[in-house]
Chain A
């Protein structure tokens, strides 16, 4: 077990080293995070001011801002533009050969890579969360249990999101190029997971539909726990559902990979 942890933490470490190699890229990434939050703030303050609103679907301005800020953060932490693009390219060009010839799991290697690539965001967002806690006391993590619940739900969201990406990526074994599917999924998820507009602002029928999909666990679930919008009584059942979705997606991914790898033609010399 210790050697397995060492093996995969080495993958994580080399991704950090790689990320730090490009200082300008890292800096632009941080600026992009902050500017994204600023734009959201401007849009919603304009909406509230122009319409003279005091609340929207039970959200006061400050509450909505916190909910949206957290949603953007969680959405960013579970997104996989970089890793999924690299994995698809690897299958298409034969670059995954270098992983297949080593005693390492393709799934877990890239999961650690996914975490490694997003680590820069984890650091910046942790700092931002700390600042938000000071500026808006009581609106985030009303109790210590909310913080623990949020971290657990966030870990589930990251794993679930990666597992869904993994399924799409594995179709590259048959079709070669599947980036269009990933891009379409990413764009759809920006809305359906509640990353930019909270699902709670959607009509009831859409919320009901979303509740039977895994997508609700990607952003809305951890953010609702963090802001105290989900009663503690509902946590257990939602944790069970979210973990079940993780297992289902993980197994589907493994099955598709095992079929796909037989199709793989190890392109290039």
Chain B
């Protein structure tokens, strides 16, 4: 197994203080600490080349899990083994094969062009000249930022900067890529470009990707498998589509009658199925099996001018899920 996470728990020591000068003074002399559990007994196994998405609300533990995997944090309990290495030992051999892109943290040198940071990474990761040139050219063309290479990082747009961050992170061709909110704040075109890029890179280099994102669409498009965290606990590990079906087994049918149906027919049908009829179009939102029954009943008597099935919006489904995850799993 490429990645094995067993009973991983991480807690942080925290203190709270009330607002205002009085609270600050009180806290200066006496602080009461409590343990906050960011992650509780997480278990996960990944094969090389998988793309796994981590979903969860703010504070669910997504970033903490990623930080533990890259070795930025020490676990309170449990273990992480990646390709035979314990990340927090920060073995240079391990770090040469892993990378992390944090959407909210800048890793490039702010005041100088990104190309200078790339050169620094070339030396830090000891990349051969030929591989460096080849990889840089490939990444720059794929992400379409060639004309921005010599512009100071602080003058780049958010999207351009994120693309440069990704290039800097992938120059050494890591086999494990951790992306923490890679599309945060980006426009739809940039988001789409980054999603396409992840799929391309995964396919070409068989790199393992672990991605966190608040945009469910990111996860839906890039990751077949997802891990759902809620309050630091592991709620689900499996295929994204299966989770969506488990949360909301309903689909939507739109059926446009070729000729207007009689009122008595509709009245009878309403006794068996739940639907709405507007302008000759029947709309029903039902579990798939019921939807099939409805469709065969309709087709027995009518032909359709047009007809379509729709999945319910994923964002809406996930929102419902996170409000009460225990109800669905």
Q: Which residues of A contact B (CB under 8 A)?
A: 3, 6-7, 9-11, 14, 17-18, 21-22, 94-95, 97-98, 100-104, 261-262, 264-266, 268-269
Contact = CB atoms under 8 A, between A and B. Distances in A.
B204 interface: no
Contacts of B96: 103
B180 A269 contact: yes
Contacts of A6: 123, 126
9 contacts: A9-B123, A14-B112, A18-B112, A97-B105, A98-B105, A100-B90, A264-B73, A265-B12, A269-B104
Closest 6 CB pairs of A and B: A10-B123, A103-B92, A266-B72, A103-B95, A269-B104, A98-B107
Given A14-B116, A17-B116, 11 more contacts: A7-B126, A10-B124, A11-B120, A14-B117, A14-B120, A17-B112, A98-B106, A102-B125, A103-B124, A104-B92, A266-B67
Contacts of A269: 63, 102-105, 180-181
Contact of B95 (A18, A97, A101): A101
Contacts of B120: 10-11, 14
Using C-beta atoms within 8 Å of the partner chain, give the interface range for chain B: 35 or more
Interface string B6-19: 00000010000000
Contacts of A22: 111
Contact of B109 (A14, A97, A261): A14
Contact of B72 (A11, A18, A101): A101
Contacts of B229: none
Contacts of A17: 112, 116
B58 to A, nearest CB: 10
B257 interface: no
A261 B71 CA distance: 10
Interface in B126-173: 126, 152
B112 A21 contact: yes
